[in-house]
Amino acid sequence: MSPNLPALHVERRPERRRRTLLGGCVAFDDGKQAVDCTIRNLSTGGARITLPPGREIPGHVFLIHMRDRLVYDAVIVWKKGSEAGLCFSKVLQLGEFSDPRLAYLQELWLERAARR
């Protein structure tokens, strides 16, 4: 085998992500902080999002999928510039939360949906 051959790309994700261009919102600090974002890739286990330049987010967030009215409980697994990779631990349907402490997620969705 020649040492000049390019290395083959090995996909490390357990499942394929779909390319998307969807509106989202990243919420943290019990809803005191929320940042609009773009969902660029999406799978059942994670997503790649783009944030506004200079915006920082913590390691644990909720990603609100505006179109499908879903909320993903997520951790940040990588960051590069204005992009971040998320790994989902749970998915919730907006308005069907058993924990009243998450009601702020519905309110954030309603605020943003009214602007569109």
Please write the tens of the pLDDT for every residue from 76-97: 999 999 999 999 999 999 988 8
The CA-based dihedral angle spanning residues 17, 20, 92, 110, taken in that order and rounded to the nearest 10 degrees: 170
Average pLDDT, the chain: 89
- Beta strands, E only, the chain: 18-28, 33-42, 46-50, 60-65, 70-80, 83-93
CATH match of 18-115 with 3.90.1310.10: no
| DSSP, res 54 | T
pTM of the predicted model as reported, rounded to 2 decimal places: 0.84
pLDDT tens digits along 52-69: 999 999 999 999 999 999
- What are the residue boundaries of the structural domains of the chain, listed by start? 18-115
Give the model's pLDDT for residue 18.
Answer: 82
The per-residue pLDDT for 12 is 56
Segment 1-27 shows an average pLDDT of: 68
